[in-house]
Chains A and B, each alone.
Chain A
Amino acid sequence: MTATLTPPYGQLTPDSPAPDNAFVVELKTFSGPLDLLLTLIREEQLDIYDIPIAHIAGQFLIRIRTLGLNEAAEYLEMAARLLRIKAQLLLPRGDEEAWEDPRGELVRRLLEYQQMREVVDVLERRGEERRNQFARAYLPQAPAAPQAPLALSLGELLAAVDRVLRVVSRPDMHEVIPRALDIPGAIALIRSVLAHRARMRWTDLVDRRAEPWEILSALLGLLELAKLGELRVDQPQPFANVEITRDAASEAA
């Protein structure tokens, strides 16, 4: 990994589609914030045990901006961590004995990461060696065998159709009769009843043997009038009878 940044650096390429819709980015140049940080430390030949945090935090921020990584949460988190350590280092050390270097945890992680990268180098080398040798039973991925052509006589086909038709029961047919709702009629009815009585109930409005279209018309008419402010609709509790009251305000007007 070198300092020279050749395009397309920092290009974010979506990895294989993640199942949980997580936005996964595979970075061309760096495999994570620790990788970037280690690269910076190596480039500037800094002592990993005595990192000048203020300097490295600045470099880190510049780098993620140039690489267009400053939208990746993991890099942002590391940037925030560096800035926090930087702030902690600025605080006066009260007790020199009890003072804990705020860089300790970061150093531990960096070393751990660096060690892992060494193992990666070993694996990469060995994997490449093995890649260049073929085992005996190599089987190229055979394409799925094409479907055998259908061998069928006319008689067999007809028999099959007959079998299918016999299984399918005759569907129940019924005629659908369109019934138009009569909302103006319902409105006129409600108005005329309320002209005589200040209040009424739903059951007064709709007969027990009412047909669905009548019930629906009454309901829509009622709602329409409620919207117009001509009446109020109350239901004291769920499933109770609906009480319809002439609206006092509209009466006054």
Chain B
Amino acid sequence: MTPLAKLLEAALFASARPIATDELAALDADASPAALSAALEEIREHYDVDGHGVELIEIGGGWQILTRAEYTEAIERAQLAARPARLSAAALESLAIIAYRQPISRAEIEEIRGVNIGSVLKGLHERGLIDVVGRGEGLGRPLLYGTTPVFLEHFALRHLEELPRADELAIALRAPMLETAGSVNNTATASTD
């Protein structure tokens, strides 16, 4: 491996969180962006081709070394690490809405899900998956929620744009058949900003 690749590997090993590309660039002032991505590619290939128990993946706006899925059970059985608890259906539904409609207030999420979500939001916030990103204009200036970098990490996403766009979903809203469905088209198109 090249010296730059070794340096990056050491940094990635030392860090608990994904390291963003510009943070990696700070490790070596002389390295060009092209040299950095070549080095990252080198590490990845090294792990993949030589057959390592870990792999390098792009996640949450950065890079991270993770163990390969096939060893999870053995590691967990030996109680060296434990998988985090799965999110409930209610939590996932709320997260999906927040991811597409952020910044969004609690009332708007409840409107889409058709249920009360008080404790669900609290749980998501405690797990660091969402955060308060501002206050709305409406009555009482409601808190607005958005997703965090931890959200990206949790779902192995490089960035939010990796989620399917509204029109890519299988249920992409088809041409309305109802007279009133004109509004259907507009309101249900989730924005992915």
* A-B interface contact total, Cβ < 8 Å: 163
State A113–B184 Cα separation when bound (angstroms).
12
Q: List 13 A-B contacts (CB under 8 A).
A: A24-B119, A49-B176, A101-B178, A112-B112, A116-B93, A116-B112, A117-B96, A119-B163, A120-B96, A123-B96, A124-B92, A129-B69, A132-B69
Which of A58-66, A102-110, A172-180, A192-200 contacts its partner? Answer: A102-110
CB neighbours (8 Å) of B69 from chain A are: 129, 132-133
Closest 4 CB pairs of A and B: A137-B16, A104-B180, A133-B66, A130-B156
CB-CB under 8 A from A108, the residues of chain B are: 181, 183-184, 187-188
User: Which residues on the A side are within 8 Å of B155 (C-beta)?
Assistant: 123, 126-127, 130
Cross-chain contact B13 with A119 (CB below 8 angstroms): no
- Choose from A115, A132, A137 the contact partner of B169 (Cβ within 8 Å): A115
Q: Which of B33-41, B82-90, B135-143 contacts A (4 or more CB under 8 A)?
A: B82-90
CA distance A119 to B68 in the complex (A): 25
A127 to B83, CA, bound (A): 11
Structural contact, A32 and B113, CB atoms closer than 8 A: yes
User: Do A104 and B183 contact each other (CB < 8 Å), given the known contacts A113-B114, A115-B190?
Assistant: yes
Which chain A residue has the least Cβ–Cβ distance from B73? A132
Q: Are B95 and A112 in contact (CB under 8 A)?
A: no
Separation of A118 and B164 alpha carbons in the complex (Å) = 9
Residues of A at the B interface (CB closer than 8 Å) are 15-20, 22, 24, 26, 31-34, 49-50, 74, 78, 99-101, 103-105, 107-109, 111-120, 122-124, 126-138, 140
B133 sits at the interface (CB 8 A): no
Q: Nearest Cβ distance between residue A44 and chain B, in whole angstroms?
A: 18
Report the nearest B residue to A24, measured CB to CB. Answer: B119
Q: How far is the CA of A174 from the CA of B155 in the complex (A)?
A: 71
Give the distance in Å from the alpha carbon of A252 to the alpha carbon of B154 in the complex. 91
Complex Cα distance A129/B83, Å? 11
Partner of A112, one of B59, B115, B188: B188
CB neighbours of A128 from chain B (8 A): 86
Question: CA–CA, A227 to B95, complex, Å?
Answer: 68
Interface of A is mostly: helix
Please indicate the chain B residues that have their CB under 8 angstroms from the CB of A123 in the complex. Answer: 92, 95-96, 99, 155
Which B residues form the contact surface with A (CB < 8 A)? Answer: 12-17, 57, 59, 64-69, 72, 75, 81-84, 86-90, 92-93, 95-97, 99-100, 112-116, 118-120, 122-123, 153-157, 163-164, 166, 169-171, 173, 176-181, 183-184, 187-188, 190
A131 CB contact (under 8 Å) in B86, B100, B171, B188? B86
Q: How far is the CA of A120 from the CA of B180 in the complex (A)?
A: 28
Q: Look across to chain A and name the residue whose beta carbon is closest to the beta carbon of B182.
A: A104
Contacting A134 at CB < 8 Å: which of B66, B95, B177?
Answer: B66
Which chain A residues lie closer than 8 Å to B57 at the CB level? Answer: 133
Please report the C-alpha to C-alpha distance between residue A108 and residue B188 in the assembled complex, in whole angstroms: 7
A109 to B177, CA, bound (A): 15
CA distance A120 to B90 in the complex (A): 10
Do A112 and B187 have beta carbons less than 8 Å apart?
yes
CB distance from B168 to the nearest CB of A (A): 10
Given contacts A115-B190, A126-B155, contact A18 B118 (CB under 8 A): yes
Choice from A16, A113, A134 contacting B119 with Cβ under 8 Å: A16
Min distance, Cβ B184 to any Cβ of chain A, angstroms: 4
On whether the beta carbons of B93 and A135 are closer than 8 Å, the reply is no
Cβ contact within 8 Å between B67 and A115: no
